Structure 1
């Protein structure tokens, strides 16, 4: 196992895989940990909206000074907070009503970020159903990055060069993620039913128009371009920092069908990040990745509360529970990507 990782004993042979999760679920339900925290989320949404409004006012007031660029990192951080709220809405963590969650997701995704809620939600739910499965998880499909040696050997041309150097290029590439999410959202509109396409497309266009109007109406063109570049790059980096440690370098199920139940499928492919209040805030609760995957509809503030129950249950069953520090999690993820590209470097 990787260094500095807290795990339990070696995994024993699987028995009654289908029932392993049931006792844990029963305990979690009895403690009310799956109950909604609407007050907590109402406060989170309100604070997020107020800070975003404050940033907009600041941009308007000091837009003709280069000092306005100091607001770009703050806007990037708040954009990530907005994405985390949209993420939670997509998992029905916020409200019990599906339409309410969708409305929250559309506002925080399409309108505020220019990122298609429908596209992301479909992709992310498929990831949750089969994490790290090479044929079923869209997050490990060979694209800019690859995650297995089998994917690496099929690369050619510029993509082959990317794979050879992907460990070094990973964080620089995340600087483009903010823009990439917008492009994917517009591209996905063709897949959506007409009514959803109209709603999502309208909100995406409103976001782009509002963003461009805010910047060009508040500052000179050069400053506006610098602000947009800094904002989108740091937003992408923040998301990359939040999502990178979760599964990269963890076990990957047998493509032909490993007989894992829900508990093992989610625990063995996920990695938790140790930390305190700052880590929880910065990573939007995704540092409790194991708990989030086991209980995707669980409200974010309950994830740290269910962690001891999950850890104890895994220890009782002899299932490795992987947890590490933030910096070490990046080291493990990058090492995995480096090793995947090793055959191409040898060539």
Structure 2
């Protein structure tokens, strides 16, 4: 599809938001990037990952403890993605470029490709959120229908039931299928992939081989095939479920929009910032445990409007954004609890499967 354009306005809401947010950081004398709170959390998560992996592979505990540790490892991997990789990829983890690159590069160690993620997430998803044909996050076809513009099949009326299983497969598919399909197709959805340099090719393949050694070869050698298979499925499926749920609650719930470009002009109805507010939702923003674990991704509104600001600042800047939305009459979508957001996501899937 032709890349759509956003509407423009003489009095840009986005410009006003940026003015207010910049004023906040200037008055507080704060950097927009991460701080010691984030760095301490990063150290805790990385140490926990190494300790859990080593204990599972080299000091394999009894079965029930090993299964619990596999669940823990899956949760830690998701948390590293949310808290370290995600901020690093957006350049908000640190004021130092090299440290952001290291943080973003953690995805390569976890099994994914930081190159593919940058194009898929930073370039496409953040620009064209919930635009069918461009946003790869809502393209789970034919297995699921995530927009009224996508074809509907009979089995979709059950998608609000079977989605749990499909979401659990995300991590396995990500590291074994999706990265490769994007690599060989040289595109993500309908968008061409940014040209890869020699170093990008080498990094892609070197870490794919390393991942096979780290998560498949070495564990099988140390504990045997069947114990590895059970542990690997527990670990990856839990990580996949957590990753999927957190990202889907941000955009595919009952109150978010799925804008369609005008057929004649190719333009979207709203300016970019308003588009982000209409297509994005927050959840459980007052739950400190959820905030700590998901790296501020429950503040998706703030993240989509200001992706280069670290998630440690979202609770404060959310107050500014809420006030501006109220003044301009722009919706600010938020669910007070995680369970309510999940219920809304289930209802959304039911509507998409039956409408």
Short-chain TM bin = 0.7 to 0.9
Alignment partner of 1:24 is 2:17: yes
Alignment partner of 1:253 is 2:259: yes
Pick aligned residue for 1:179 from 158, 172, 183: 172
Q: 1:87 to 1:263 in 2, by over 3 A?
A: same
Q: 1:148 to 1:189 in 2, by over 3 A?
A: closer
TM-score normalized by the length of structure 1: 0.86
> What is the CA-CA distance between 1:167 and the residue it aligns to?
1.4
* Partner of residue 157, structure 2: 164
Q: 1:141 to 1:177 in 2, by over 3 A?
A: closer
Q: Is the 8 A contact 2:277 2:332 kept in 1?
A: yes
Give the 5 Å matches for 1:131-150.
131-141=129-139, 143=141, 144-150=143-149
> What is the CA-CA distance between 1:15 and the residue it aligns to?
9.9
* Partner of residue 276, structure 2: 266
> What is the CA-CA distance between 1:16 and the residue it aligns to?
4.1
> What is the CA-CA distance between 1:268 and the residue it aligns to?
1.1
Aligned equivalents of 2:154 and 2:219: distance in 1? 37
Number of aligned residues: 322
Give the 5 Å matches for 1:84-103.
84=82, 85-103=84-102
Alignment partner of 1:229 is 2:251: no
Q: Is the 8 A contact 2:257 2:279 kept in 1?
A: yes
Q: 1:45 to 1:58 in 2, by over 3 A?
A: same
Cα offsets for 1:61-87 (capped at 9, x unmatched): 542631322210110111101211211
> What is the CA-CA distance between 1:38 and the residue it aligns to?
4.6
Q: Is the 8 A contact 2:147 2:258 kept in 1?
A: no
Aligned equivalents of 2:97 and 2:308: distance in 1? 12
> What is the CA-CA distance between 1:277 and the residue it aligns to?
0.6
> What is the CA-CA distance between 1:24 and the residue it aligns to?
2.0
* Partner of residue 277, structure 1: 288
Higher relative contact order (CA 8 A, sep 6+): 1
Give the 5 Å matches for 1:31-42.
31-32=24-25, 35-42=32-39
Q: 1:248 to 1:34 in 2, by over 3 A?
A: farther
Q: Is the 8 A contact 1:76 1:234 kept in 2?
A: yes
Q: Please report the RMSD computed on the Cα atoms of aligned residues, expressed in angstroms.
A: 2.2
Aligned equivalents of 2:306 and 2:62: distance in 1? 47
Q: Which runs of 5+ in 1 are unaligned?
A: 1-13, 154-159
Pick aligned residue for 1:59 from 35, 56, 76: 56
Cα offsets for 1:35-71 (capped at 9, x unmatched): 2225344323221221112112321454263132221
SS at match of 2:49: helix
Cα offsets for 1:116-170 (capped at 9, x unmatched): 11112211121111111123322223523222233134xxxxxx34423211111
Alignment partner of 1:201 is 2:194: no
> What is the CA-CA distance between 1:218 and the residue it aligns to?
3.1
TM-score normalized by the length of structure 2: 0.84
SS at match of 1:132: coil
> What is the CA-CA distance between 1:215 and the residue it aligns to?
1.6
Aligned equivalents of 1:72 and 1:134: distance in 2? 35
Q: Is the 8 A contact 1:171 1:240 kept in 2?
A: no
**Bigger CA drift: 14-23 or 197-206?**
14-23
Q: Which runs of 5+ in 2 are unaligned?
A: 1-6, 187-195
Q: Is the 8 A contact 2:168 2:239 kept in 1?
A: yes
Aligned equivalents of 2:17 and 2:31: distance in 1? 12
Q: Is the 8 A contact 1:215 1:224 kept in 2?
A: yes
